Structure 1
Amino acid sequence: MITTIRPGTVRDAAAVAELHAASWRTAYTGIVPEDALGDGLAAERREIWELRLAVDYGGPEHTPELLIAERAGETVGFAYLVPQPDGRVLLDNLHVRPGLTGAGIGRGLLDAACAHVARRHPGADLYLEVLRANTRAIAFYERAGGRRTAARDGVFPGGYTLPEYEYTWTAAELAAL
Protein backbone atom coordinates (compact mmCIF):
# COMPACT_ATOMS: atom_id res chain seq x y z
CA MET A 1 0.00 0.00 0.00
CA ILE A 2 1.26 3.48 -0.87
CA THR A 3 2.22 5.85 1.92
CA THR A 4 2.24 9.58 1.24
CA ILE A 5 3.99 12.17 3.36
CA ARG A 6 2.65 15.70 3.60
CA PRO A 7 3.04 18.75 5.83
CA GLY A 8 0.83 18.68 8.90
CA THR A 9 -1.55 21.39 10.04
CA VAL A 10 -3.57 22.21 13.14
CA ARG A 11 -6.35 20.03 11.66
CA ASP A 12 -4.07 17.02 12.28
CA ALA A 13 -3.79 17.59 16.04
CA ALA A 14 -6.40 15.01 17.10
CA ALA A 15 -5.10 12.23 14.84
CA VAL A 16 -1.48 12.92 15.81
CA ALA A 17 -2.35 12.99 19.52
CA GLU A 18 -4.20 9.66 19.29
CA LEU A 19 -1.34 8.01 17.38
CA HIS A 20 1.24 9.54 19.74
CA ALA A 21 -0.51 8.14 22.83
CA ALA A 22 -0.93 4.69 21.23
CA SER A 23 2.73 4.63 20.20
CA TRP A 24 3.91 5.62 23.69
CA ARG A 25 1.81 2.89 25.28
CA THR A 26 3.31 0.32 22.91
CA ALA A 27 6.94 1.45 22.85
CA TYR A 28 7.38 2.69 26.41
CA THR A 29 5.54 0.12 28.53
CA GLY A 30 8.10 -1.16 31.02
CA ILE A 31 10.43 1.76 30.24
CA VAL A 32 8.63 4.81 31.64
CA PRO A 33 6.61 4.93 34.85
CA GLU A 34 3.20 3.32 34.42
CA ASP A 35 1.35 6.48 35.49
CA ALA A 36 2.90 8.37 32.54
CA LEU A 37 1.00 6.03 30.19
CA GLY A 38 -2.33 6.17 32.03
CA ASP A 39 -5.80 7.37 31.19
CA GLY A 40 -4.85 11.05 30.86
CA LEU A 41 -2.19 10.45 28.22
CA ALA A 42 -4.42 10.93 25.15
CA ALA A 43 -5.90 14.20 26.47
CA GLU A 44 -2.43 15.46 27.43
CA ARG A 45 -1.07 14.65 23.97
CA ARG A 46 -4.04 16.38 22.29
CA GLU A 47 -3.53 19.54 24.34
CA ILE A 48 0.18 19.56 23.49
CA TRP A 49 -0.40 19.04 19.75
CA GLU A 50 -3.14 21.65 19.52
CA LEU A 51 -0.81 24.15 21.17
CA ARG A 52 2.25 23.22 19.11
CA LEU A 53 0.35 23.52 15.84
CA ALA A 54 -1.40 26.81 16.65
CA VAL A 55 1.59 28.86 17.87
CA ASP A 56 3.23 31.53 15.70
CA TYR A 57 6.96 30.90 15.95
CA GLY A 58 8.02 34.11 14.21
CA GLY A 59 9.17 32.95 10.80
CA PRO A 60 10.01 29.78 8.87
CA GLU A 61 13.55 29.53 10.22
CA HIS A 62 12.10 29.09 13.74
CA THR A 63 8.89 27.24 12.92
CA PRO A 64 8.71 23.51 13.67
CA GLU A 65 7.54 21.23 10.88
CA LEU A 66 5.08 18.38 11.29
CA LEU A 67 5.27 15.66 8.64
CA ILE A 68 2.29 13.32 8.33
CA ALA A 69 2.44 9.83 6.79
CA GLU A 70 -0.92 8.73 5.37
CA ARG A 71 -2.31 5.57 3.84
CA ALA A 72 -5.76 5.68 2.31
CA GLY A 73 -6.45 8.95 4.16
CA GLU A 74 -5.48 7.54 7.57
CA THR A 75 -2.64 9.02 9.63
CA VAL A 76 -0.17 6.14 10.06
CA GLY A 77 2.86 8.06 11.28
CA PHE A 78 4.34 11.46 11.94
CA ALA A 79 7.62 13.27 12.51
CA TYR A 80 8.10 16.62 14.21
CA LEU A 81 11.16 18.79 13.53
CA VAL A 82 12.09 21.68 15.83
CA PRO A 83 14.82 24.22 14.93
CA GLN A 84 17.07 24.82 17.94
CA PRO A 85 18.88 27.99 19.10
CA ASP A 86 22.25 26.24 18.59
CA GLY A 87 21.56 25.92 14.84
CA ARG A 88 20.71 22.23 14.87
CA VAL A 89 17.28 20.73 14.22
CA LEU A 90 15.73 18.34 16.74
CA LEU A 91 13.69 15.41 15.47
CA ASP A 92 11.46 15.66 18.52
CA ASN A 93 9.05 12.90 17.54
CA LEU A 94 8.95 10.07 15.03
CA HIS A 95 6.09 7.66 15.59
CA VAL A 96 4.40 4.98 13.51
CA ARG A 97 0.99 3.50 14.30
CA PRO A 98 1.41 0.34 16.40
CA GLY A 99 1.04 -2.74 14.22
CA LEU A 100 2.55 -0.96 11.19
CA THR A 101 6.16 -0.71 12.38
CA GLY A 102 8.61 -2.41 10.06
CA ALA A 103 6.58 -1.50 6.96
CA GLY A 104 8.85 1.35 5.80
CA ILE A 105 6.71 4.18 7.19
CA GLY A 106 9.29 5.26 9.77
CA ARG A 107 12.09 5.17 7.21
CA GLY A 108 10.00 7.24 4.81
CA LEU A 109 9.37 9.80 7.54
CA LEU A 110 13.04 9.88 8.55
CA ASP A 111 14.11 10.34 4.92
CA ALA A 112 11.56 13.15 4.51
CA ALA A 113 12.82 14.77 7.73
CA CYS A 114 16.42 14.62 6.50
CA ALA A 115 15.44 16.13 3.15
CA HIS A 116 13.43 18.86 4.88
CA VAL A 117 16.36 19.86 7.10
CA ALA A 118 18.82 19.85 4.17
CA ARG A 119 16.46 22.06 2.13
CA ARG A 120 15.02 24.40 4.79
CA HIS A 121 18.01 24.57 7.16
CA PRO A 122 21.14 24.12 5.02
CA GLY A 123 24.22 23.63 7.15
CA ALA A 124 22.23 22.34 10.14
CA ASP A 125 22.74 18.95 11.75
CA LEU A 126 19.69 16.82 12.54
CA TYR A 127 19.62 15.10 15.92
CA LEU A 128 17.23 13.21 18.16
CA GLU A 129 17.07 11.86 21.68
CA VAL A 130 16.04 8.26 22.32
CA LEU A 131 15.59 6.40 25.59
CA ARG A 132 18.44 3.94 26.12
CA ALA A 133 15.98 1.16 26.89
CA ASN A 134 14.20 1.68 23.54
CA THR A 135 16.47 -0.79 21.76
CA ARG A 136 14.17 -1.21 18.75
CA ALA A 137 14.30 2.53 17.99
CA ILE A 138 18.06 2.62 18.56
CA ALA A 139 18.58 -0.20 16.06
CA PHE A 140 16.36 1.65 13.54
CA TYR A 141 18.33 4.92 13.89
CA GLU A 142 21.67 3.13 13.61
CA ARG A 143 20.53 1.27 10.46
CA ALA A 144 19.50 4.66 9.05
CA GLY A 145 23.01 6.08 9.54
CA GLY A 146 22.53 7.95 12.81
CA ARG A 147 25.64 8.20 14.95
CA ARG A 148 25.50 8.21 18.73
CA THR A 149 26.89 11.59 19.78
CA ALA A 150 25.93 11.89 23.46
CA ALA A 151 24.59 10.03 26.47
CA ARG A 152 22.76 11.76 29.30
CA ASP A 153 19.76 11.63 31.58
CA GLY A 154 16.56 13.17 30.24
CA VAL A 155 14.09 14.85 32.58
CA PHE A 156 10.45 14.24 31.69
CA PRO A 157 7.11 15.78 32.66
CA GLY A 158 6.09 14.34 35.99
CA GLY A 159 9.62 14.73 37.32
CA TYR A 160 11.13 11.40 36.37
CA THR A 161 14.60 11.00 34.87
CA LEU A 162 15.59 8.33 32.36
CA PRO A 163 18.87 7.63 30.55
CA GLU A 164 18.90 8.56 26.88
CA TYR A 165 21.20 8.75 23.88
CA GLU A 166 21.54 11.45 21.28
CA TYR A 167 21.88 10.42 17.62
CA THR A 168 23.03 12.83 14.90
CA TRP A 169 23.10 13.13 11.12
CA THR A 170 25.53 15.90 10.15
CA ALA A 171 24.69 18.64 7.67
CA ALA A 172 27.18 17.08 5.22
CA GLU A 173 25.45 13.69 5.54
CA LEU A 174 22.05 15.29 5.01
CA ALA A 175 23.25 17.17 1.93
CA ALA A 176 24.58 13.92 0.45
CA LEU A 177 21.26 12.08 0.79
Structure 2
Amino acid sequence: MLIRGARAGDVAAIAALHAASWRTAYAGMMPDEFLDGDLPADRLAVWRERCAAAVPPGLFMAEDGGELLGFGYATATPDGRVLLDNLHAAPGRTRAGIGTRLLGTVFDWAAAAHPDRGVYLEVLQANTPAIAFYERHGGIRTDTRTAHFEQGFDLPEFEYSWPAGFRLH
Protein backbone atom coordinates (compact mmCIF):
# COMPACT_ATOMS: atom_id res chain seq x y z
CA MET A 1 0.00 0.00 0.00
CA LEU A 2 1.29 3.43 -1.00
CA ILE A 3 0.34 6.60 0.89
CA ARG A 4 0.86 9.77 -1.13
CA GLY A 5 -0.26 13.34 -1.40
CA ALA A 6 -3.27 13.79 -3.65
CA ARG A 7 -3.01 15.43 -7.06
CA ALA A 8 -5.52 17.44 -9.09
CA GLY A 9 -6.37 14.40 -11.21
CA ASP A 10 -7.46 12.48 -8.09
CA VAL A 11 -10.46 14.67 -7.24
CA ALA A 12 -13.12 12.55 -9.01
CA ALA A 13 -11.87 9.30 -7.45
CA ILE A 14 -11.75 10.88 -3.98
CA ALA A 15 -15.31 12.21 -4.39
CA ALA A 16 -16.59 8.81 -5.57
CA LEU A 17 -14.97 7.00 -2.63
CA HIS A 18 -16.30 9.67 -0.25
CA ALA A 19 -19.87 9.12 -1.51
CA ALA A 20 -19.54 5.32 -1.36
CA SER A 21 -18.11 5.51 2.16
CA TRP A 22 -20.92 7.76 3.40
CA ARG A 23 -23.58 5.48 1.90
CA THR A 24 -22.08 2.50 3.71
CA ALA A 25 -20.89 4.01 7.00
CA TYR A 26 -23.82 6.39 7.56
CA ALA A 27 -26.72 4.14 6.52
CA GLY A 28 -29.34 4.46 9.24
CA MET A 29 -27.65 7.59 10.62
CA MET A 30 -28.19 10.13 7.85
CA PRO A 31 -31.57 10.47 6.10
CA ASP A 32 -32.11 7.86 3.37
CA GLU A 33 -33.27 10.50 0.90
CA PHE A 34 -29.90 12.22 1.24
CA LEU A 35 -27.79 9.07 1.00
CA ASP A 36 -29.90 7.68 -1.84
CA GLY A 37 -29.89 11.01 -3.72
CA ASP A 38 -27.17 12.38 -5.96
CA LEU A 39 -24.51 12.03 -3.30
CA PRO A 40 -21.71 11.49 -5.84
CA ALA A 41 -22.42 14.88 -7.45
CA ASP A 42 -22.67 16.49 -3.99
CA ARG A 43 -19.27 15.12 -2.92
CA LEU A 44 -17.70 15.98 -6.31
CA ALA A 45 -18.81 19.60 -5.89
CA VAL A 46 -17.26 19.67 -2.40
CA TRP A 47 -13.93 18.28 -3.60
CA ARG A 48 -13.80 20.48 -6.69
CA GLU A 49 -14.27 23.51 -4.45
CA ARG A 50 -11.66 22.37 -1.94
CA CYS A 51 -9.15 21.74 -4.73
CA ALA A 52 -10.10 24.66 -7.02
CA ALA A 53 -6.95 26.72 -6.45
CA ALA A 54 -4.65 23.81 -5.65
CA VAL A 55 -4.80 20.42 -3.98
CA PRO A 56 -4.55 21.08 -0.24
CA PRO A 57 -1.28 19.90 1.31
CA GLY A 58 -3.14 17.89 3.98
CA LEU A 59 -4.95 15.61 1.48
CA PHE A 60 -3.53 12.08 1.36
CA MET A 61 -4.47 8.93 -0.52
CA ALA A 62 -3.88 5.25 0.11
CA GLU A 63 -3.63 3.18 -3.02
CA ASP A 64 -2.51 -0.19 -4.25
CA GLY A 65 -1.75 -0.79 -7.90
CA GLY A 66 -3.54 2.43 -8.82
CA GLU A 67 -6.69 1.46 -6.87
CA LEU A 68 -7.83 4.08 -4.36
CA LEU A 69 -8.18 2.35 -0.99
CA GLY A 70 -8.86 5.40 1.15
CA PHE A 71 -8.09 9.03 1.82
CA GLY A 72 -7.55 11.46 4.66
CA TYR A 73 -7.86 15.23 4.67
CA ALA A 74 -6.74 17.67 7.36
CA THR A 75 -6.54 21.45 7.39
CA ALA A 76 -5.46 24.17 9.80
CA THR A 77 -8.37 26.05 11.34
CA PRO A 78 -8.68 29.64 12.59
CA ASP A 79 -9.00 28.42 16.20
CA GLY A 80 -5.35 27.32 16.20
CA ARG A 81 -5.91 23.60 15.68
CA VAL A 82 -5.83 21.13 12.77
CA LEU A 83 -9.15 19.62 11.73
CA LEU A 84 -9.09 16.04 10.46
CA ASP A 85 -12.11 16.60 8.25
CA ASN A 86 -12.15 13.27 6.40
CA LEU A 87 -10.76 9.80 6.98
CA HIS A 88 -12.32 7.11 4.79
CA ALA A 89 -11.45 3.59 3.69
CA ALA A 90 -13.21 2.14 0.67
CA PRO A 91 -16.28 0.06 1.55
CA GLY A 92 -15.23 -3.54 1.98
CA ARG A 93 -11.65 -2.48 2.78
CA THR A 94 -12.14 -1.39 6.39
CA ARG A 95 -10.15 -3.09 9.16
CA ALA A 96 -7.24 -3.61 6.77
CA GLY A 97 -4.91 -0.97 8.24
CA ILE A 98 -5.79 1.72 5.68
CA GLY A 99 -7.30 4.11 8.22
CA THR A 100 -4.41 3.61 10.64
CA ARG A 101 -1.82 4.36 7.96
CA LEU A 102 -3.72 7.45 6.79
CA LEU A 103 -4.25 8.67 10.36
CA GLY A 104 -0.53 8.30 11.05
CA THR A 105 0.28 10.23 7.87
CA VAL A 106 -2.07 13.04 8.90
CA PHE A 107 -0.50 13.21 12.37
CA ASP A 108 3.00 13.30 10.86
CA TRP A 109 1.96 16.05 8.43
CA ALA A 110 0.30 18.10 11.20
CA ALA A 111 3.36 17.75 13.47
CA ALA A 112 5.66 18.94 10.67
CA ALA A 113 3.47 21.65 9.12
CA HIS A 114 1.76 22.89 12.31
CA PRO A 115 3.93 21.73 15.23
CA ASP A 116 2.13 23.83 17.84
CA ARG A 117 -1.38 22.75 16.89
CA GLY A 118 -3.38 19.84 18.21
CA VAL A 119 -5.51 17.74 15.88
CA TYR A 120 -9.24 17.23 16.30
CA LEU A 121 -12.14 15.70 14.42
CA GLU A 122 -15.90 15.50 14.61
CA VAL A 123 -17.63 12.11 14.50
CA LEU A 124 -21.33 11.27 14.56
CA GLN A 125 -22.32 9.86 17.94
CA ALA A 126 -24.03 6.92 16.22
CA ASN A 127 -20.82 5.98 14.37
CA THR A 128 -19.60 3.61 17.05
CA PRO A 129 -17.05 1.79 14.83
CA ALA A 130 -15.30 5.10 14.06
CA ILE A 131 -15.43 6.15 17.72
CA ALA A 132 -13.80 2.88 18.76
CA PHE A 133 -11.12 3.37 16.06
CA TYR A 134 -10.28 6.91 17.23
CA GLU A 135 -10.18 5.87 20.89
CA ARG A 136 -7.85 2.93 20.05
CA HIS A 137 -5.58 5.48 18.37
CA GLY A 138 -5.33 7.84 21.33
CA GLY A 139 -8.26 10.18 20.66
CA ILE A 140 -9.79 11.85 23.71
CA ARG A 141 -13.42 12.98 23.65
CA THR A 142 -13.30 16.73 24.20
CA ASP A 143 -16.78 17.98 23.27
CA THR A 144 -20.36 17.01 22.48
CA ARG A 145 -22.45 19.06 20.06
CA THR A 146 -24.83 18.98 17.11
CA ALA A 147 -23.65 18.82 13.50
CA HIS A 148 -25.72 21.01 11.18
CA PHE A 149 -25.74 19.70 7.61
CA GLU A 150 -26.46 22.19 4.83
CA GLN A 151 -28.85 19.60 3.34
CA GLY A 152 -31.27 20.40 6.17
CA PHE A 153 -30.70 17.88 8.94
CA ASP A 154 -28.90 17.86 12.29
CA LEU A 155 -27.14 14.96 14.02
CA PRO A 156 -25.43 14.64 17.42
CA GLU A 157 -21.64 14.41 17.26
CA PHE A 158 -18.58 14.14 19.43
CA GLU A 159 -15.26 15.93 19.08
CA TYR A 160 -12.09 13.88 19.57
CA SER A 161 -8.68 15.50 20.03
CA TRP A 162 -4.98 14.70 20.10
CA PRO A 163 -2.24 17.01 21.44
CA ALA A 164 0.19 18.93 19.25
CA GLY A 165 2.93 16.70 17.91
CA PHE A 166 1.00 13.47 18.53
CA ARG A 167 2.35 10.51 16.58
CA LEU A 168 1.11 6.95 16.26
CA HIS A 169 3.57 4.38 17.60
TM range (shorter): over 0.9
Q: What is the SS of the residue equivalent to 1:108?
A: helix
Confirm or deny that 1:151 pairs with 2:144. yes
2 CA distance for matches of 1:175 and 1:17? Answer: 27
Partner AA of 2:24 in structure 1? T
1:51 equivalent among 46, 49, 52: 49
Q: Deviation above 6 Å: which 4+ runs of structure 1?
A: none
**1:14 aligned partner:** 12
Task: Count matched residues.
Answer: 169
2 CA distance for matches of 1:73 and 1:36? Answer: 30
Deviates more, 1:103-112 or 1:42-51: 42-51
2:31 equivalent among 22, 30, 33: 33
1:152 offset after TM fit, Å? 0.4
1:118 offset after TM fit, Å? 0.2
Confirm or deny that 1:120 pairs with 2:113. yes
Q: TM-score, normalised by structure 1?
A: 0.91
1:111 equivalent among 104, 107, 125: 104
Q: Which runs of 5+ in 1 are unaligned?
A: 58-62
Q: What is the SS of the residue equivalent to 2:51?
A: helix
Asked if structure 2 preserves the Cα contact closer than 8 Å seen for 1:79 and 1:91, the reply is yes
Asked if structure 1 preserves the Cα contact closer than 8 Å seen for 2:104 and 2:168, the reply is no
Q: Which runs of 5+ in 2 are unaligned?
A: none
Partner AA of 1:135 in structure 2? T
**1:87 aligned partner:** 80
Q: What is the SS of the residue equivalent to 1:5?
A: strand
Change (3 A) 1:94 1:126: same
1:56 offset after TM fit, Å? 5.5
Asked if structure 2 preserves the Cα contact closer than 8 Å seen for 1:81 and 1:89, the reply is yes
Q: Sequence identity, in percent?
A: 51
1 CA distance for matches of 2:120 and 2:57? Answer: 14
Partner AA of 2:47 in structure 1? W
Cα offsets for 1:151-172 (capped at 9, x unmatched): 0011012121100000001115
Q: What is the SS of the residue equivalent to 1:122?
A: coil
Partner AA of 1:118 in structure 2? A
2 CA distance for matches of 1:175 and 1:107? Answer: 11
1:39 offset after TM fit, Å? 3.1
Asked if structure 2 preserves the Cα contact closer than 8 Å seen for 1:89 and 1:117, the reply is yes
**1:73 aligned partner:** 66
1:52 offset after TM fit, Å? 0.7
